[in-house]
Copies of this chain bind each other. A is one copy, B any other.
Amino acid sequence: MESAKKRVTIKDVARVVGVSYATVSRALSGSPEISEETRQRIDAICREMGYMPNSIARAMVMRRSQIIGLIMPSINNFFMSELADCIETRLRRAGYDLMVCNTSYEPRLERQAFELLIGRQADGIIFLPSGVESYKGLEAYFAQVPVVILGENLRETPDSYVSVDNTRGTRIGVEYLYELGHRRILYLGNRKGSMTHGLRAEGYRQACRELGLDADMLDSPFERSSVDAGYTLAREYFCENLRHSAIFCASDSLAIGVMKAADEAGLRIPEDFSLMGFDNISFSALPRIDLTTINQPEREMAEAGVDMLLERLRVPETEKKHRLIEPDLVIRSSCRKVEE
């Protein structure tokens, strides 16, 4: 019984109502050229028979699927799941459905996701690249379907993208620490090979230069930022004497790792040193963590990305735009005023 379910089609309805199925189609799509009476009859019968339009057939002839693809490294990531959530909600309100593809940071899966979504006739794609490198080799797809890139600052790309202004973010952070009196600020966890991190590091350098501070960076050899990476890095650093009054971490995860190492080393935050993160992941707001950090406004990013994509769908000639979202400082308890 369950599998023998032939669904009710427009034809079935037409037969019952006693009109041609074109008429039913018109009634359903709210065409004006139809009498109020037949429309009512058709509506009633549709409800009665439990008719549900087949959007696949519809997409076929309309050449629009009303599907947007979301390609991202992982759904299970504070930053990304927040983005995904906002994207879904906003797209749905605009009448689109979301198809999600995990890439697990694998370029191979990124390619595959594009092909799959194009095959599914997705009307557009929102893409969170797993890194700058991954962007290469994907350009061919960008000609086939409107794509908006989210997250990575791809300055050189001519494609639409939305990103947080990472450079601005670290500048804001350094300036804040400076105002608190900090003059020896370590920047911890910079990763080469990540555009995002490169820009954050750049902001740190710029701010130091302008404020007349020594830029001092402890790079990360790890593939990705994580609590463990921060912990490992900080442990090493704490072996020597504490030469800085503040540590600015390239990401919140790293900062939390630094906290752990500090706790173990008997160093207090912010009494012995101030700690600043970047991202404002949900962890950072927790009691006991309560990390001062630079916030990436995910909601705003998601909305900007979706709107940009929808705009391109509505007006195909729309030129590709770049949009930098302004990050902001979230003051919690991990930084304190000092006299130097």
A77 neighbours in B (Cβ, 8 Å): 81
Nearest residue, chain B, Cβ from A4: B316
User: With A88-B75, A286-B289, A289-B286 given, is the CB distance from A120 to B2 under 8 Å?
Assistant: no
Stretch at the interface among A190-198, A199-207, A255-263: A255-263
Select A102's contact among B74, B89, B257, B260, beta carbons within 8 Å: B89
- Name the prevailing secondary structure of the A interface residues: mixed
Q: Are B316 and A287 in contact (CB under 8 A)?
A: no
A174 close to B (CB within 8 Å) = no
As a 0/1 sequence over residues 91 to 104 of chain A, the CB contacts with chain B under 8 angstroms (1 = contact) are 01000011111101
Nearest residue, chain B, Cβ from A318: B2
Q: Are A100 and B102 in contact (CB under 8 A)?
A: no
Q: Are A144 and B316 in contact (CB under 8 A)?
A: no
As a 0/1 sequence over residues 314 to 335 of chain A, the CB contacts with chain B under 8 angstroms (1 = contact) are 0011000000000000000000
Nearest residue, chain B, Cβ from A118: B52
A57 neighbours in B (Cβ, 8 Å): 60
Nearest residue, chain B, Cβ from A77: B81
Interface residues of A (CB under 8 A from B): 2-3, 5, 7, 50, 52-57, 59-60, 65, 67, 74-77, 81-82, 84-85, 88-89, 92, 97-102, 104, 115-116, 118-121, 140, 143-144, 146, 227, 231, 256-257, 259-260, 263, 282-283, 286-289, 316-317
Closest A-B pairs by Cβ, 5 of them? A260-B287, A3-B316, A76-B85, A81-B81, A288-B288
Given contacts A52-B118, A227-B286, 11 further A-B contacts (CB under 8 A): A3-B317, A56-B56, A76-B81, A76-B85, A77-B81, A97-B101, A99-B100, A100-B100, A263-B288, A288-B289, A289-B289
